[in-house]
């Protein structure tokens, strides 16, 4: 019924940071489909994802969807690419990964998660949908693991720096601490995704910060 004009504005954004094969779209219509699928996954989950809805939301016929993507699964792969890129690209406005003291960088991570929770809730939902899908999709599992490993490595480095600069407790085990921080951020994100604003995010971060610093 309702014709939805293809979402505008994120196009150029999707062309940068194309670290992955499928990430750029030579075609605007293709991106429209990916975005439509992305939003529908966030809204209804994979369980209720229907090609007809995707096509309608992208403002085109279902046959045209299949002109751009061989199959539903194929389109979903592109959504994964898109999300992967978003995850690397989208941060707090203030975000700068390699600037500031170790403590500032940890704070930046906290702020970033908080930003996504507030401004990019869809991203978090889709990401969590993918985590569950990864249970039955080894390729996807590998990709998500890659993201996690990067994150772990980053935290370890920062924590190491902080310990050496005397900012953090001397007895920190950087690897274990990084695991704790990541688990904490994942877990709190997960909770707040489902029932928003039920946990005092800032307070919890502050608490953790005090634990790190002594």
Stretch that binds its own copies, among 60-68, 86-94, 101-109, 195-203 (CB under 8 A): 195-203
Give 160: exposed, middle or buried? Use CB within 10 Å, 0-12, 13-18, 19+.
middle
Residue nearer to DNA on the CB measure, 11 or 107: 11
The answer to whether residue 46 forms part of the interface with its own copies (CB under 8 A) is yes
Residue 12 near residue 3, CB atoms below 8 Å: no
The answer to whether residue 10 forms part of the interface with its own copies (CB under 8 A) is no
Instruction: Fill in the per-residue mask, 73 to 92: x = in contact with DNA (CB under 7 A), - = not in contact.
Output: x-------------------
24, interface contact from DNA, its own copies, none, CB < 5-8 Å by kind: none
Taking the C-alpha atoms of residue 162 and residue 102, their distance in angstroms, rounded to an integer, is 5
21, 63, 70, 135: which one binds its own copies (CB under 8 A): 135
Q: Name residues contacting its own copies, limited to 142-171 (CB under 8 A).
A: 144-145, 148, 171
Token output for 181? 């921080």
The length of the chain is 214
27, 96, 164, 173: which one binds its own copies (CB under 8 A): 173
2, interface contact from DNA, its own copies, none, CB < 5-8 Å by kind: DNA
Q: What share of the chain is helix, strand, coil (3-state, %, to 5)?
A: 70, 0, 30
The count of residues interacting with its own copies (CB under 8 A) is 50
Nearest CA to 34 out of 45, 44, 23 is that of 23
CB atoms within 10 A of CB 34: 26
The answer to whether residue 2 forms part of the interface with its own copies (CB under 8 A) is no
Give 207: exposed, middle or buried? Use CB within 10 Å, 0-12, 13-18, 19+.
exposed
133, 150, 161, 164: which one binds its own copies (CB under 8 A): 133
92, interface contact from DNA, its own copies, none, CB < 5-8 Å by kind: none
The count of residues interacting with DNA (CB under 7 A) is 24
Residue 83 near residue 66, CB atoms below 8 Å: no
Q: Is 166 left (phi over 0), alpha (psi -120 to 50) or beta?
A: left
The residues of the shown chain that bind its own copies, judged by CB under 8 A, are: 44-48, 125, 128-129, 131-136, 141, 144-145, 148, 171-173, 175-177, 179-180, 182-191, 193-195, 198-200, 203-204, 206-208, 210-212
């Amino acid at each position: 019924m309702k014709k939805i004009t293809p979402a505008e504005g994120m196009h150029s954004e999707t062309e940068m940071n194309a670290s992955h094969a499928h990430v750029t779209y030579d075609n605007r219509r293709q991106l429209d489909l990916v975005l439509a699928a992305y939003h529908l996954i966030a809204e209804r989950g994979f369980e209720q994802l229907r090609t007809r809805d995707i096509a309608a939301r992208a403002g085109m016929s279902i046959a045209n969807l299949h002109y751009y993507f061989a199959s539903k699964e194929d389109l979903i792969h592109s959504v994964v690419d898109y999300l992967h890129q978003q995850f690397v690209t989208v941060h707090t406005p203030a975000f700068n990964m390699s600037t500031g003291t170790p403590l500032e960088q940890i704070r930046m991570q906290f702020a970033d998660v908080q930003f996504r929770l507030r401004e990019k809730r869809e991203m978090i939902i889709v990401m969590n949908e993918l985590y569950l899908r990864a249970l039955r999709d080894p390729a996807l599992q590998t990709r998500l693991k890659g993201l996690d490993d990067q994150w772990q490595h980053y935290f370890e480095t920062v924590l190491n720096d902080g310990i050496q600069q005397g900012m953090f407790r001397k007895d920190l085990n950087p690897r274990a601490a990084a695991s704790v921080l990541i688990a904490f951020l994942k877990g709190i994100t997960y909770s707040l995704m489902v029932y928003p604003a039920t946990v005092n995010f800032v307070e919890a971060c502050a608490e953790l910060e005090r634990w790190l610093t002594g």
